[in-house]
């Protein structure tokens, strides 16, 4: 039973560029959430996708966008990269969205470095 | 792998001792709580969860205690082992508002052999 998988594992970009990160959820899960984790801090919620639509969004600018496909996989896109976007980007999947009391399961993340 | 939590609070315990990691949460509407373990170079790994209608839940070698009055959560690890060394995060969620986790700042657990 495959867990959450993310690609790539590491990525180096320069300021102003655009990046796409990918996530395949755990088998049986239909909801995908994205988090940003800066060094020394806990993950911060970016947004959540369910039924191919963005359902909730944290305090991130619209440079951060996403997509969910019919097979539940998801992408995180970041435009006009800034130095401060350097972080570990985590994808988490779960079953159901509201009142599910189901834990989110995380992938190992994509380490994005901006030069 | 690279380090997670370079400047986090650190709890250092002897192998075989019990560990207690504490967490204060912020949202009184939160009704679901999770503890995660994060090892260097990896994503958070689910340990145990608890709903707000409970004040204690036990798993294998782990116990979570919830005190809603003071908005406090703790994770107890029995007979701590070197493999328990990691950064531990508590996370809270208000299920009526969706499934968006809010994480605490994390605690680094170091187990001395």
Are the beta carbons of B79 and B61 closer than 8 angstroms?
yes
Contact between chains at A98 and B36 (C-beta distance less than 8 A): no
Count Cα neighbours of B16 within 13 Å in the Cβ-side half-sphere.
1
Q: For chain A, what is the domain count? A: 1
Contact between chains at A106 and B44 (C-beta distance less than 8 A): yes
Q: Mean of the per-residue pLDDT values for chain A? A: 94
B49-75: pLDDT as tens digits: 999 999 999 999 999 999 999 999 999
B72-94: pLDDT as tens digits: 999 999 999 999 999 999 999 98
Q: What is the CATH number of the domain that holds A76?
A: 2.60.40.10
Residue B11 binned pLDDT confidence (cut-offs 50, 70, 90): very high
B32 contact residues in A (CB cutoff 8 A):
101
Contact between chains at A39 and B6 (C-beta distance less than 8 A): yes
Residue ranges making up the domain that contains A30: 5-97+105-114
A14-67: pLDDT as tens digits: 999 999 999 999 999 999 999 999 999 999 999 999 999 999 999 999 999 999
pLDDT given for residue A23 in this prediction: 98
Tell which CATH architecture fits domain B10-112.
Sandwich (2.60)
B46 contact residues in A (CB cutoff 8 A):
103-106
């Amino acid at each position: 039973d495959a867990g959450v998988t993310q690609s790539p594992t590491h990525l180096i970009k320069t300021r102003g560029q655009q990046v796409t990160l990918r996530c395949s959820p755990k088998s049986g899960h239909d909801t995908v959430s994205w988090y940003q984790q800066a060094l020394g801090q806990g993950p911060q919620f970016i947004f959540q996708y369910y039924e191919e639509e963005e359902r909730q969004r944290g305090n991130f600018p619209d440079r951060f966008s996403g997509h969910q496909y019919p097979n539940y996989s998801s992408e995180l896109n970041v435009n006009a990269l800034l130095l401060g976007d350097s972080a570990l980007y985590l994808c988490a999947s779960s079953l159901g969205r509201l009142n599910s009391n189901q834990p989110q399961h995380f992938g190992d993340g994509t380490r994005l470095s901006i030069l | 792998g690279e380090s997670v939590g370079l400047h986090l609070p650190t709890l250092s315990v002897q192998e075989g001792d019990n560990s207690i990691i504490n967490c204060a949460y912020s949202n009184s509407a939160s009704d679901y709580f999770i503890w995660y373990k994060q090892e260097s170079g990896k994503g958070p790994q689910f340990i145990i969860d608890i709903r707000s209608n409970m004040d204690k839940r036990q798993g294998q070698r782990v116990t979570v205690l919830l005190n809603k009055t003071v908005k406090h959560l703790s994770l107890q690890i029995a007979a701590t082992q070197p493999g328990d060394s990691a950064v531990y995060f508590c996370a809270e969620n208000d299920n009526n508002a969706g499934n968006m986790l809010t994480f605490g700042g994390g605690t680094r657990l170091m187990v001395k052999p």
